[in-house]
A and B are shown apart, each in its own frame.
Chain A
Amino acid sequence: MLEAIVFYTLAVFTLGFGVLVITARNTVHSVLFLVANFLCVAVLYVALAAEFLAVIQVLVYAGGIVVLYLFVVMLVNLKAIPEARVDPRRRSRLGFVLAAALLAEVSAILVYAGSRSPMAPAPGAPATPAPGNTETVGWLLYTDYLVPFEVASVLLLVAMIGAILLARKQEA
């Protein structure tokens, strides 16, 4: 019962903030709604017993990426830009139709899968109490997924160098 209340409240907030992100006129407001959305998703992770993922979500998304967005929004002075011109070839209604088609498609898949095999909670649940979530994830990261983990660190290094090179002022 409590779980249901928590889930539905969080679902409403997550979707509501998501809609506000894409509808807000002011880009700074959009970024702030994005933070709220990320925090709601972090609580959803806690409800899903993924505590480590929730902490990473708050640290990396709400703490790191969003600050990056805020910096860029403040660096580009949007007030100075005249009202954006609309490309006459742009068809917004087509975008709506395509997004609705995508939603219909995903819903059809969900309904079909749900009717075929109702999701039983935890079919292969271990009999012994599982170790802590952080311990499990850390163990997997440093044993089975060590190579992807190191590749991800190299990717982040390359992205850092690339971002510095791209955003640097050109002296030429």
Chain B
Amino acid sequence: MVPITPYHYLVLSAALFTIGVLGVMLRRNVIIIFMSIELMLNAVNINLAAFSQQWQNAIGQVFAIFVIAVAAAEAAVGLGIILAFFRNKDTLNVDEMNTLRW
């Protein structure tokens, strides 16, 4: 059995990222789309941690922590927008969020 290299983690991360992209593309519930974005951010963090281990350098982990902080900010603001939108339109369907669409 081959030893586990950072390469394995990169493949896993690519697959997880694609699952997130599929969620964004296929679902219409805006909360599910937000969760798919969190999945993609997690995939990126796995990449950062894998490279951090490969180079024996903790900077990758520091960047992953920044990514987590930005994800927390994004989730707070995004969910606030979702609440405000739901209050006005009574829907969570992204196909009906077309007020700004030409």
Contacts and interface: CB of A to CB of B under 8 A. Distances in A.
Interface of A: 1, 3-4, 7, 11, 14-15, 18-19, 21-22, 27, 30-31, 34, 37-38, 41, 44-45, 48-50, 52-53, 56-57, 60-61, 64-65, 68-69, 71-73, 75-76, 78, 80-81, 84-87, 90, 92, 94-96, 98-99, 102-103, 106-107, 110, 114, 119, 121-126, 130, 133, 136-137, 140-141, 144-145, 148, 152, 155-156, 158-160, 162-167, 169
A148 B66 contact: yes
Contacts of B15: 15, 103
Nearest to A100: B18
Given A68-B76, A95-B25, A106-B17, 4 more contacts: A18-B20, A50-B53, A124-B55, A159-B77
A134 to B, nearest CB: 10
Contacts of A86: 28, 95
A140 B58 CA distance: 8
A110 B50 CA distance: 14
12 contacts: A15-B16, A19-B19, A21-B32, A21-B39, A34-B38, A50-B52, A65-B71, A68-B75, A92-B25, A96-B25, A102-B17, A140-B58
Interface of B: 1-12, 14-23, 25-29, 31-32, 34-36, 38-39, 42, 45-46, 49-50, 52-59, 61-62, 64-66, 68-77, 79-84, 86-87, 90-93, 95-96
B95 A87 contact: yes
**Interface SS, B side:** helix
Contacts of A60: 68-69, 72
Contact of A163 (B23, B34, B53, B76): B76
B30 to A, nearest CB: 10
Contacts of B79: 68-69, 71-72, 163, 167
Contacts of B86: 75-76
Contacts of B59: 140, 144
Given A57-B68, A110-B14, A121-B54, A163 B61 contact: no
B77 A56 contact: no
B95 A121 contact: no
Given A41-B46, A167-B83, A7 B10 contact: no
Contacts of A169: 87
B26 A96 contact: yes
A56 B65 contact: yes
